[in-house]
């Protein structure tokens, strides 16, 4: 006799695990150290001259450096490089063409440049002034008068800014008055002894209202006046 055994269903007991709580991500705190950036010295610009109420032009020692611009306490502000040649001076004298480049010690870039073009005798004096990017700042031109000479300072648009009046007699300290609308606002003075008999020593008292570019024009005018009135008596260039 055979027996049939019916299989019993298996019972599987699944034990429920407790739910795991996952905390939301916390923001990370990053502690940064302060970064100290060393400030680079600001490259000189026209403002280097613009902050000066007074400038003295003196000869400078150096192979390429001909002049220097000093403050009242003899601190150097800018250096001046003469670009010309002695042959031009021998052939054409004070009427030759040349450039003066103004820069600061230790910086190769030109801050501004004075250009003196060649002209013929009995013509009026003229110089043009450019900034370091060769942009015209203005010009200084001689104006014909019956008694004394006048020099007019123009901006880049040929608008008159100042007039410079030359002295009638060139003795002692020769003072060229800087005038604006008829009033004296500054002066350019050739100092020491009889005019033109001593080495270059020119001082400029700038007008209080003069901008940096206008001071560059007046500084260039001082060099032009030295060539026009005193270079025949003292060999400064070359």
CB 164 within 8 A of CB 200: no
Residue, of 117 and 206, whose pLDDT is higher: 206
CB 100 within 8 A of CB 219: no
- pLDDT of residue 89 exceeding 90, the answer is no
| Helices within 3-68 (DSSP H only) | 46-50
Please classify residue 141 by burial: count the beta carbons closer than 10 Å to its beta carbon, then call 0-12 exposed, 13-18 middle and 19+ buried.
Answer: middle
Q: What is the pTM for the complete model shown?
A: 0.75
Sign of CA dihedral 55, 214, 105, 238: negative
pLDDT band at 11 (very low <50, low <70, confident <90, very high): low
Distance, in Å, from the CA atom of 27 to the CA atom of 13, rounded to the nearest integer, reads 42
pLDDT band at 15 (very low <50, low <70, confident <90, very high): low
The per-residue pLDDT for range 140-191, each reduced to its tens digit, is: 999 877 667 899 999 999 999 999 998 887 777 889 999 999 999 999 998 7
Residue, of 39 and 222, whose pLDDT is higher: 222
Range scoring the smallest mean pLDDT among 74-83, 117-126, 128-137? 117-126
The per-residue pLDDT for range 217-226, each reduced to its tens digit, is: 999 999 998 8
Range scoring the smallest mean pLDDT among 65-69, 88-92, 212-216? 88-92
Please report the pLDDT score of residue 12 as a whole number: 52
């Amino acid at each position: 006799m055979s027996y049939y055994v019916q299989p019993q269903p298996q019972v599987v007991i699944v034990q429920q695990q407790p739910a795991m709580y996952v905390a939301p991500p916390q923001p990370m705190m990053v502690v940064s150290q302060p970064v100290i950036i060393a400030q680079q010295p600001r490259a000189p610009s026209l403002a280097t001259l613009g902050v000066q109420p007074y400038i003295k032009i003196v000869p400078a020692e150096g192979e390429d450096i001909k002049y220097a611009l000093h403050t009242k306490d003899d601190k150097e502000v800018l250096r001046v490089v003469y670009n010309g040649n002695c042959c031009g001076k021998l052939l054409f004298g004070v009427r030759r063409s040349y450039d003066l480049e103004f820069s600061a010690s230790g910086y190769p870039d030109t801050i501004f440049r004075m250009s003196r073009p060649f002209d013929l005798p009995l013509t009026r004096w003229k110089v043009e002034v450019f900034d370091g990017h060769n942009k015209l700042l203005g010009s200084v031109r001689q104006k014909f008068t019956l008694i004394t000479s006048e020099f007019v300072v123009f901006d880049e648009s040929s608008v008159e800014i100042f007039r410079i009046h030359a002295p009638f007699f060139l003795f002692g300290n020769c003072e060229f008055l800087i005038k604006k609308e008829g009033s004296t606002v500054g002066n350019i003075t050739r100092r020491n002894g009889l005019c033109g008999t001593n080495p270059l020593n020119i001082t400029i008292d700038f007008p209080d209202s003069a901008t940096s570019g206008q001071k560059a024009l007046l500084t260039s005018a001082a060099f032009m006046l030295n060539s026009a009135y005193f270079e025949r008596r003292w060999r400064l260039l070359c």
